[in-house]
Structure 1
Amino acid sequence: MYLGNDLRLQRRVAIKVMHHHLVEDDSFTRRFEQEARSAAMLGNANVVGVFDQGVDGGLPYLVMEYLPGITLRELLKQQKRLTADQALEIGEAVLAGLAAAHAAGLVHRDLKPENVLLADDGRIKIGDFGLARAVSANTTTGQALLGTIAYLSPELVTRGVADARSDVYAFGIMLFEMLTGQQPFKGEQAMQIAYQHAHSEVPAPSTLNPEVGPEFDRLVQWCTQREPDARPRDAGEVIDSLRAIRDGEPLGSTRVLPFTLPIGTATPATAVLSGGERQAVAAGAPARAETAPVAAPATAVERAGAAGLRRARRGRWMAALLIVLVAAAAGSGWWWGQGPGSLVTVPGLVGQDPAAATAALEELTLRASQDECSSLDVEAGLVVSSDPSAGTRVERESRVSLCVSTGPEMLPVPTLVGLSLDAAQEEIEEAGFVFGEVLDRVFEKGERDTVYLAVDEQGDGLGDAYPEQGRIDLLISAGPLPSVTGLSVDDATSTLEDLGLLVKKSMNERAYNDEIAEGDVIGLITSGKTVKVGSKVGLNVSRGPQLFEVPDVSGMDLQEAMDELQSLGFSPTTGVPDSLRRFAKATGTDPAAGEMLPKGATIRVRATISLD
């Protein structure tokens, strides 16, 4: 915004020029041009006038009415809250400008204290019609939240739809703020405030400022009803009620807030006439018979004009007051309120990409730097925190340090192998990790009931370092497998089941064994290399020694017979001396042929000697 001189008409004007970086954005350009058209078509005393519009050097500009003074926001900062008279004076002027807009079929959509200008000479005007749209095109879709969130109506928040009643809602919030010095809904995030607009009722101003009268409570709550149909139809209807409060007259009934009136009490005509009846009154037709004749203007525009004349007559005292306030705040008010020295609020940046967070800070004329820090909650590469923290008010060009997450901190893993379960769990927690569970108890892996392996959630080894608060699972040794050799099947089964093993008969086998008696257990049968508590096992049961049949060696040479028996695993003997064996023939054996004997059994060979 620049201050210029109109050389043709010799007057000072305000020149509003679009920023270079916004020229390429068609939506901003359209809103910029819309502001000129909206304000120009109104031509109302309570709307900032637009004299010209054009493009110079590729930059669109508006030539506007220059109003030396302050905004309503600055007045609220200086006084905190306004008196009832001040609220009435400013409210009536704002409503007059809105009434003209609504009568022309326009909705402002961004009514807030920043857009209410208080001139040094007592004039009060609404500015910034850049968001104004025709009522017939009230669906705003993605543009619904372009207005300040603290003043958006529930239908704009939830459905992106606005009409004259949305401006009425914004006026009700602004009137609440003028009377109490604060907004009705607060929150750290914009969506928290939007949610309250959509789901909560605006409290009565008297709950925060006991000096506020009940008539203001009723008006504020009427204007801020969540359902649009329950509010006044437009600013013209509200201005009648505000004028009634100013003049000390009883308020007429509304559709949602009934007021008790004596029978026959006259009410302002436009507060009870329908839209068609208003047009009829404006055209000179009589109103309904039951409505008391009034001398007030019939249309919202005419009422606004009459209100402007009244304000001009009694605005001199307020002009003097504003001049004093402006003089007192001329230096500090501009410098600390909107100038280079004003404080800015550090935004919430947690979870954002560092590039996006840096851009957000630079947009607020803050400088960003980055450090690294570990975080359990924020993904690596995103902002964990800022210093100063979100919500802190700092000077422009201040440095804000962004702490960017490196993920969880890597901590050294303590030695857990060989510890008892309780001792291992204590070590895990003291080291900054989380104990998970005992996955298995495995035999033949160290001393019974001690840790033999620690793993992560995927079952892999931990290594030397592990992320803080990471989960650690343990495998515990069940000790050595018991020896069941030589035990009966029942005794072996009982021993194994006491250790948590499942003995399955289907896995049992039987084998010959020269040392283990038939029916006793030779050993344990497992299904894999690792045996855990709960594993299935079988038993290798002895058949006793294997038996072989004694052959018939009768008629063989003695030495041939003995060799035959020895080849079959027996131990043959004979009573014939070695020197005579070549003259002897076998006549039988003892035990006899056909007997079943184990390998190694001794068999005596009988023989006869023939020296012929």
Structure 2
Amino acid sequence: MTDREPQGQLLDGRYRVGPRIARGGMASVHEALDLRLHRTVAVKIMHPGLGDGTDFAARFVREARAAAKLSHPNVVAVYDQGEDDGTVFLAMELVTGHTLRDTIAKESPMSPARALALLEPVVSALAAAHRAGIVHRDVKPENVLIADDGRVKVADFGLAKAVGTDTQHTATGGVLIGTVSYLAPELVSEGTSDARADVYAVGVMLYELLTGSKPHEGETPIQVAYKHVHEDVPAPSLRASGVPSYVDALVARATARDRSQRPADASVLLHHLHRVSQALSSGVSDDEDLTQDLTPLLAAIPAPAAGSAPVEEHRVGDTSPEVWEPEELTGLADPDGDPSAEPGAGPSTAAAAAGPTRPARPASRPASRPASRPAPRPAGRRRWRGPVVLLLALLLASGVGLGAWWFGWARYETVPTVLGQSRASAVQELEEAGFEVDLADGVYSESVDKNHVVSSTPAPGERVLPGETVTLVLSLGVEKYPVPGLEGLTTDAARAALAEVQLELGRVKEKFSEKVESGLVIRHDPAEGKQLRPGSVVDVVVSKGRRPLNVGDWVGKDADRAEQTLERKGLVVDRSQEQYDNTVPEGFVIAQNPQGGTLFRGETVTLVVSLGPDLVTVPSVRAQGVESARQELEALGFVVETREASGYLGLGYVFSQDPSAGERIPRGSTITLTLI
């Protein structure tokens, strides 16, 4: 599996390798299925031939184990490490999303507040690593992952060290670990690094977020590396508007070429970052004290051109400036070419083989004129005056030196680094170091656990007098607020109630309600008491009032069906009124109230139901006089008609009737009498 695509392979009998999701200079990353735990992971497979066989594998295992010890919400978790048929791999947490490089491409240049918000979890992760003794060595936007839900995670801890240990780096033949745009000067010129190299890389990323471009660019990696050693990172405000001076100072402090001027580690940088973020959130456009505090003591001066006199960097009041020469960029040729370079001095020179060059000693001065002999002095005076003056000078120098040492250094104590520690642990460590401890108001933090130290004043690493007070700012945890009860409120009142706890009104859905008045909130999601972060939205369901129910027209229709339909809608049916009707069949609706329209649930619909025709038995009126027969039939509700029989005699008696006697016919029907 060394040269073919690993997709579909089974690593260590456990990880089924899926499609490739990323590829870098050291490894390719694939999605994989952990068959043992039935979860999806990311598997980083090192490129074939990287390192030196078993030695590399041993180093890789050591560094992977060290990285696996990191437990931090902003660090990509390392689950497992292994080797399968010569393939070295690492199983890690799968973060679905994009990288900080993608964000830079889309959003840069961005506001200082946005840039610091993106870097805060990165620096927090590096601080945890530095406290554990782990230096990343390859901090760059490609190693900062941003999940779809907004979580920020740093990947590839310890891998650069595994590849770079005992590896000579030169301009041509060696391996230069870390992307050249983010390499600290000491990594280029000396081949050494510590936590301050990570701090430098973060400073470069901050510059890139603010301006949208890298601080040092060139046609070749050698030119870029040369600039890291000999040129300061410019102030972001020169390329981007709206960058306060104290943000410029933060970038300058993090990217100082003299690593002693940078924050000692990411914990100290995190403290500075919190101070700057607080100033930005407070709307401070200029803070002279903060700017002066963050500005590095050394003012950067561009490096001299090849062949010119050395240019010095001055600290205010410093009488022993440090000299920088182009030759200090060990193993890297001047990108513009140096015609004065010695023949045969190529870029493959080892890093440890070069150092600062000394100015040539001036040639002896020619004796252009005879020197006059000085007048002789008394021998006795010469014998004692010189030693006395020398002794006095030594005593004076010693006194001044001791005084300066005592008043400028020895009587001060270094403030311990307690960032990220619990309250009890931090207080104990500071008190044991001889300091008083005071607690300031807590602040919310996305990265520092509740009741752990977010910042301290004076800052970690500062030297102050013993017994002075160190003020600690503790984390209140992630800023969250409970959802208030919104039931029964209007939409405007609900929006105002949410704004009081820094929440926002989300979707408003309307629904009929038989219990809640129109325009008032019926329910909301999330429910009351749920803890949410500031800016989260709460969706509400608002009442449209009672649902109107269509009654319909049921006249002439089956009363039973009408009753079932209306009751299913929630209406009450009154069909107590019944009456005979010769035109409407029995059981059908003769009339209703109301006649159509709408009602609300529980209201009544009255139906008048037909009993059918009113049937009456026809009596016998044969042989009766016509008037007597008419009266009897009309009294029963019939209509009487008469006609004369054939051979009518004029007697006026009923000869026959139709319908005949005994039949049941509807009241109002016509009976025909035949007279004789």
TM-score, with structure 1 as normaliser: 0.44
Flag the structure with higher helix content.
1
Higher relative contact order (CA 8 A, sep 6+): 1
TM-score, with structure 2 as normaliser: 0.40
